[in-house]
Copies of this chain bind each other. A is one copy, B any other.
Amino acid sequence: MSHPTDFSRRARWSGGESLVSVLMAKALTHPELTSLAAGFVENQTLPVDATARAFEAVWSVPERAREALQYGTTIGYPPLRQAIVDRLVSCDGLPPGALSADHVVITPGSNQLLYLVACVLCDPGDVVLCGAPSYFVYLATLRGLGIRSIGVAVDQRGMVPEALEEQLERLERQGQLGRVKAIYVTSYFDNPTGLTLAAERRGAMVETARRWSKAGRIYIIEDTAYRELRYWGDDVPSLRSFDPSGETVIQAGTFSKSYSPGIRVGWGVLPPELVEPVLTAKGNLDFGSPQLNQVLMSTVLELGLFDRHLEVLRQGYRAKVEATMEAAERFLGPLSGVQCQRPNGGLYVWLRLPEGVDTGPAGRLFDLAAERGVLYVPGQFCYPAEGPPVPRNRIRLSFGTASCEEIGRGIEALAGAIRQVTG
Q: A residues within 8 Å of B by Cβ?
A: 1-11, 14-15, 18, 20, 40-41, 43-44, 46-48, 51-52, 55, 59, 62, 65-72, 107-109, 111-112, 115, 119-123, 126, 137, 140-141, 144-145, 178, 181, 210-211, 213-217, 247-248, 260-264, 273-274, 277, 280-281, 283-287, 289-293, 295
Which of B40, B55, B141 is within 8 Å of A55, CB to CB? Answer: B55
The answer for the CA separation of A44 and B277 in the assembled complex, in Å, is 34
What are some 9 contacts across the A-B interface (CB < 8 A)? Answer: A3-B215, A6-B181, A8-B119, A11-B119, A48-B66, A69-B260, A111-B286, A115-B285, A264-B292
Of A59, A107, A215, A287, most B-chain CB atoms within 10 Å? A287
Contact yes or no, A214 B1, CB < 8 A: yes
Whether B137 lies near A2 (C-beta < 8 A) is no
Cα-based distance from A377 to B200 in the complex (angstroms)? 54
Whole-angstrom distance between the Cβ of A417 and the nearest chain B Cβ = 27
CA distance A281 to B261 in the complex (A): 19
Across the interface, do B69 and A263 meet the contact criterion of CB distance under 8 Å?
Answer: yes
In the complex, are the beta carbons of A140 and B283 less than 8 A apart? yes
Which B residues lie within 8 Å of A214 (CB)? 1, 3
Counting from the closest, the 5 A-B pairs by CB-CB distance are A262-B291, A264-B290, A69-B262, A46-B69, A141-B284
Q: Collect the chain B residues with CB atoms within 8 Å of residue A8's CB.
A: 119-123, 126
Q: What separation, in Å, do the CA atoms of A70 and B47 have in the docked complex? A: 10
Q: Please tell me which one of the listed residues B3, B5, B140, B145 contacts residue A273 in the complex, with CB atoms under 8 A apart.
A: B5
Return chain B residues, CB-CB under 8 Å to A69: 46-48, 51, 260-263
The answer to whether A262 and B292 touch across the interface, beta carbons within 8 angstroms, is yes
Closest chain B CB from A332 CB (angstroms): 28
Which residues in B have their C-beta under 8 angstroms from that of A66? 43-44, 46, 48
Known: A48-B69, A59-B52, A140-B283. A3 touches B216 (CB 8 A): yes
What is the chain B residue whose CB lies nearest that of A10? B119
Within 8 Å by CB of A59, from B41, B48, B273, lies B48
Cβ-neighbour of A51 out of B65, B262, B283 (below 8 A): B65
7 more contacts with CB within 8 A, not counting A108-B286, A264-B292, are A2-B213, A8-B126, A40-B71, A48-B69, A109-B287, A140-B283, A144-B280
Q: Are B10 and A262 in contact (CB under 8 A)?
A: no
> Nearest Cβ in chain B — how far from A300, in angstroms?
11
Taking a contact as CB atoms under 8 Å apart, the answer to whether A115 and B5 are in contact is no
Given A120-B8, A121-B7, A123-B8, the answer on whether A262 and B284 have CB atoms closer than 8 Å is no
Measured CB to CB, the closest approach of chain B to A161, in angstroms, equals: 19
* Alpha-carbon distance between A160 and B275 when the two chains are bound, in angstroms: 41
Q: How far is the CB of A179 from chain B (nearest CB, A)?
A: 10
Among B51, B112, B123, B264, contact of A285 (Cβ-Cβ < 8 Å): B112
> CA A217 – CA B215 in complex, angstroms?
42
Task: Give CA–CA (A287, B261) in the complex, Å.
Answer: 11
Residue of B whose beta carbon sits closest to that of A46: B69
Bound complex: CA A6 to CA B180 (Å)? 11
Determine the chain B residues whose CB is within 8 A of the CB of A261 once the complex forms.
Answer: 69-71, 291
Q: In whole angstroms, what is the CA distance A70 to B38 when docked?
A: 12
**CA of A112 to CA of B261 in the docked complex: distance in angstroms?**
19
Residue of B nearest to A39 (CB): B71
**What is the distance, in angstroms, from A65's C-beta to the closest C-beta of chain B?**
5
Q: State A142–B178 Cα separation when bound (angstroms).
A: 28
The complex places the Cα of A14 from the Cα of B282 at a distance, in Å, of 11
Q: How far is the CA of A122 from the CA of B12 in the complex (A)?
A: 11
Partner of A274 from the list B5, B111, B141, B145 (CB cut-off 8 Å) is B5
B3 and A284 within 8 A (CB): no
Candidate in A68, A283, A284, A287 with the most chain B CB atoms within 10 angstroms: A284
- Checking B15, B55, B119, B123 against A280 with a beta-carbon cut-off of 8 angstroms, the contacting residue is B15
- In the complex, the answer to whether B140 meets A40 with C-beta atoms within 8 Å is no
A216 — which chain B residues lie within 8 A by C-beta?
3, 5-6
Contacts A280-B11, A286-B115, A290-B290: A48 and B20 contacting too (C-beta < 8 A)? no
